[in-house]
Amino acid sequence: MSDFRRIVIKIGSSSLNHPEGGLDDQAIDRIAQLVAEIRKFGVECVLVSSGAVAAGVGKLNLKSRPKNVAGKQAVAAVGQGVLIEKYALALEAHGLVCAQVLLSRIDLAEASRYRNAQNTLEQLLRFHVVPIINENDTVAVEELCFGDNDRLSALVAGLVHGDLLVILTDVEGLYSANPKLDPEAKLITEVKDLSEVVGVAGGPGSSLGTGGMLTKIKAAEIATRFGIGMFLLHSRHMEDITKLIQGERPLGTYFLPAEHRIMGRKRWIAYGGLSEGSIFIDQGAVNALLTGKSLLASGITGLEGTWERKELVRINSPEGIEVARGLVELNSDELEKVRGKHSDVMLDLIPNLEGKEVVHRDNMTMMLEC
């Protein structure tokens, strides 16, 4: 048996594409075989799979991915059916059942829908089903989309309380420089501090995918802050995941879980919910938040955006750096009246408040470490 109970594997378009177009059936067969092997160790497996657009391009015999939104969404609608059918047949050969779960950004942005998605995935896993998750590209609009499945996979890892996130890619891992351009580039096998490697992440991915190395660094930030280790692995070595769950370290890059981890609802506050606006605070308030205090009106210097009570807002330093995110106790009009004022004055001006905090520390997640 493995120390891991549940892992999430993200498969990018580049890992599924056939050189001549469409999906590579052999790649999907390998993934199904891998999932079956992982299950033998008593480990549950959740897949986050790209490939719908690439599958649609192949099915429609198009020469390239459409450039306009309607074209992409139409091709994705065709491709989703092709993709899940191939997965279902491949997994069925190993006695496994899969389920397609299409998520939109709004599904994780609203707390109730977040819980519903979480409950559905938990029930699927109790049924011993392999969830195959993708963004619902056919209806997503730009301002309400994940942007790439790397970020989605990290959010899913938190959603299902995964123990490990593995992102399959078309390189061996994270390098000190772009290995396609710099022959002196060296593989970074372990990352403890993400701030030290952000600068080495390259640009965007291929024409059939949307994720470059920078999106994988962002995924690592989310996963590791959730207390989940993340491993970058070349898709041609995907079978090495069985080594990972046995405690070995194959060729690739491992991002260690963060020392200060966020749990429970604070995960949703940090990365699930969509913020409605920003609160700007002075340095004294920044220092107070960094020591675990709640946000009071006296430290607030400005507002941006409009919101209602209990909605999510960003809390920014004087330099505009995001310090925290939290659920605010006053709407934007109320807060404009009391910003910079003492708590007693705030309670006199807004008498129906439950407490003196603008954002209580229990409803806040720090985005900036000490």
Element (DSSP H or E) covering residue 191? strand 190-191
Tokens of 367: 């985005």
- Residue 323, H or E segment: strand 322-327
Check: CB of residue 36 under 8 Å from CB of residue 43: no
**Rounded Cα distance, 365 and 266, in Å:** 6
Between CA 152 and CA 288 the distance in angstroms is 32
3-state per-residue secondary structure call for 25-92: HHHHHHHHHHHHHHHHCCCEEEEEECCHHHHHHHHCCCCCCCCCHHHHHHHHHHHHHHHHHHHHHHHH
Q: Enumerate the known binding-site residues.
A: 10, 50, 137, 149, 169-170, 210-216
Contacts (Cβ under 8 Å, ≥6 apart) of 10: 47, 48, 49, 50, 149, 150, 152, 153, 165, 166, 167, 168, 219
Q: Which of 126, 145, 121, 131 is nearest to 49 (CA)?
A: 131
What are the binding residues for substrate?
50, 137, 149
Query: Which residues line the annotated binding site for ATP?
Result: 10, 169-170, 210-216
Which DSSP symbol is given to 103?
E
b/e map 100-124, b = 16+ CB within 10 Å: bbbbbbbbbbebeebeebbeebeeb
Helix or strand holding residue 11 (H, E)? strand 6-11
